[in-house]
Amino acid sequence: MSASEINKLYLVGIVAAFTTLAFLGTTIIRVPLPATGGYFNLGDTFVMAAALLYGPAVGGLVGLVGPAVADAIGFPQFILATAVVKGIEGVLLGLIAGTRARSVSRMVLGLISAVIVLTGGYFVFEAWIYPWLGVKIPFFAVTDFNAALAEIVPNLLQGTISAVLAFAIARVMGKLSRP
Amino acid sequence: MKTAAIKITGSATPPPASGWKLKIAVLLIIAVPAFSGYPLHLVAVQVIPGISASWCLYALVVNLAVLALHGCGRYADIITLAAMITMPVVFSGAIVSHLAGLTGLSPRPPALAAVHYIQLCLTMLAVIPLALGIVTSIPFEAAEQKLLQNSSGVTARQKKLLMILRVFNHICFTVMANLVEIIREERNNFLKAGNGSLSALIGLMRHAAVECICSAVQFIPLWAIEIGSLPGPSPSIAEPAPNLTDQEEQ
């Protein structure tokens, strides 16, 4: 039994835990958005918290899998957008915030970037990519430019609330983990 | 041979492992129309204007199949959970859409919004029991025990799978059950304090989330050591060693 094997297993456990939490956070708290048929949720809190606490690889994996699996329950057309947007969100936040010697300013900058990625990413998917895919595959024909515009504010709100919560969680857990 | 079938936590009752592959296969076949739309879109009959009879029938078939495959007790759990997820989504969505329609914020008239949410309710009451039926068919506990009791050793990949199964089981069956209690307690404190400000609400949510994360990850270091110390595969089935050159062998 080597230390690296234990470390790998530990990271696998952490990814599994945050992925399950992101899945549950996305599934349990859902407020539908009439414009696009999408929904508001707080699963991002766990994606952002994972990225802040454990870095870009864990944040990216959690963002890629957890919320996308939740979308499979009831909203399968959004799986693609969710996996891509939230995966990038987790990686970017982890990269900007850094895993060692996190400063508050870097965390805040990372969280602002994550909220921009979340809002902008969904806008790009719903305004251009989904309508383009929808021409070939009717399954994706669920949004258009106007619907994407209408979803900017709810997404911004969702991202901001999740970012505030993730920041608070990271601060508390950072203090807890100090000797 | 080291036996390592020690369970640190896990109060969940293992689901019956018999015929689980067949159950999943049946449910996956039933799931095809939900994702492809075929042949549901071929039926033009409408129960009420805008609501297809085919989706009503499909939701009924799905629920009957889950009931037949899982039995009354488990189906009751599944449909309760499905209703708990569906109802807030449908009702809050319908209310928001209705108000948006009345105030002119949404171009869609309230009647159309109502049809949309009835259809969404039907879809969710078909898809959620189906998804939960598939997930609950997988005997996670039995799979974990099988891996732990594997006499020929546990490969690195199986150890990772074991860790994922254990974390998933722990969160779904222990953390979530405890979280309900935590939220109830925190909510009482929140109400007693009489402070209804946004910061107090965020504090409440933060506390619940931190409790949730802490209880979700608390055993992971211990499990990593425990699972890491499981014996590896015996040489006969071990993964082939990298080719060594004569010099390296010497």
Count, in order, helices (H) and strands (E) of chain B. 9, 2
β B46-48/A39-40 pair status: unpaired
CA B39, B69, B177: angle at the middle one, nearest 5?
110
Who among A30, A72, A169 is closest to B210 (CB)?
Answer: A169
- At B47, give phi and psi (nearest 5°): -75, -50
B81: closest CA among B139, B12, B136? B136
CA B41, B46, B49: angle at the middle one, nearest 5?
120
Amino acid B194 reads: G
Across chain A, what does the average pLDDT equal?
A: 86
pLDDT digits (tens, 9 = 90+) for B148-173: 777 778 888 888 988 998 898 888 77
* Interatomic CA distance for residues B29 and B133, integer angstroms: 13
The number of CA neighbours under 13 Å toward the Cβ of B207 is: 16
Cβ pair B167, A13 in contact under 8 A: yes
Most confident of A42-51, B207-216, B233-242: A42-51
Sort A177 into a burial class: Cβ within 10 Å, 0-12 / 13-18 / 19+.
exposed
* Interatomic CA distance for residues A66 and A118, integer angstroms: 15
Residue, of B18 and A36, whose pLDDT is higher: B18
pLDDT digits (tens, 9 = 90+) for B33-73: 877 667 777 777 888 887 888 889 999 999 999 999 999 98
A52: closest CA among A94, A85, A82? A94
- pLDDT-based confidence at B3, cuts 50/70/90? very low
ipTM: 0.83
A120 pLDDT exceeds 50?
yes
The number of CA neighbours under 13 Å toward the Cβ of A44 is: 30
Tokens of B119: 């259809």
CA A111, A117, A123: angle at the middle one, nearest 5?
140
Distance (Å) from the alpha carbon of A121 to chain B's nearest alpha carbon: 23
> What pLDDT is stored for residue A127 in this prediction?
92
> What pLDDT is stored for residue B199 in this prediction?
72
Using a pLDDT cut of 90, give the percent of chain B over it: 14
* Interatomic CA distance for residues B148 and B131, integer angstroms: 27
Chain A residues whose beta carbon lies within 8 Å of the beta carbon of residue B167 = 13, 16-17, 20
Using a CB–CB cutoff of 8 Å, tell me whether A10 touches chain B.
yes
> What pLDDT is stored for residue B8 in this prediction?
39
Q: Tell me if residue B47 falls in helix, strand or coil.
A: strand
Using a CB–CB cutoff of 8 Å, tell me whether B128 touches chain A.
yes
- pLDDT-based confidence at B176, cuts 50/70/90? confident
Chain B residues whose beta carbon lies within 8 Å of the beta carbon of residue A32 = 89-90, 92-93, 96-97, 117, 120
Q: Which of A59-63, A171-175, B13-17 has the lowest mean pLDDT?
A: B13-17
Cβ pair A95, A76 in contact under 8 A: no
Q: What is the mean pLDDT of residues A35-42?
A: 68
* Interatomic CA distance for residues A6 and B227, integer angstroms: 8
Using a CB–CB cutoff of 8 Å, tell me whether A49 touches chain B.
yes
Interface contact flag, B206 A8, Cβ < 8 Å: no
Q: Tell me if residue B9 falls in helix, strand or coil.
A: coil
A21: closest CA among A56, A55, A58? A58
CA A31, A32, A35: angle at the middle one, nearest 5?
140
> What pLDDT is stored for residue A122 in this prediction?
94
CATH 1.10.1760.20 is held by the domain A3-174: yes
- pLDDT-based confidence at B196, cuts 50/70/90? low
B139: closest CA among B53, B2, B14? B14
The radius of gyration computed from the CA coordinates of chain A, to the nearest angstrom, equals 16
* Interatomic CA distance for residues B44 and A12, integer angstroms: 49
Q: Tell me if residue A40 falls in helix, strand or coil.
A: strand
Chain A residues whose beta carbon lies within 8 Å of the beta carbon of residue B108 = 34
- pLDDT-based confidence at B9, cuts 50/70/90? very low
The number of CA neighbours under 13 Å toward the Cβ of B58 is: 30
Which pTM does this prediction carry? 0.76
Domain ranges of chain A: 3-174
Q: Among all chains, which residue has been given the structure tokens 């606490």?
A: A53
Chain B residues whose beta carbon lies within 8 Å of the beta carbon of residue A12 = 160, 163-164
Residue, of A79 and B193, whose pLDDT is higher: A79
- At B17, give phi and psi (nearest 5°): -95, -5
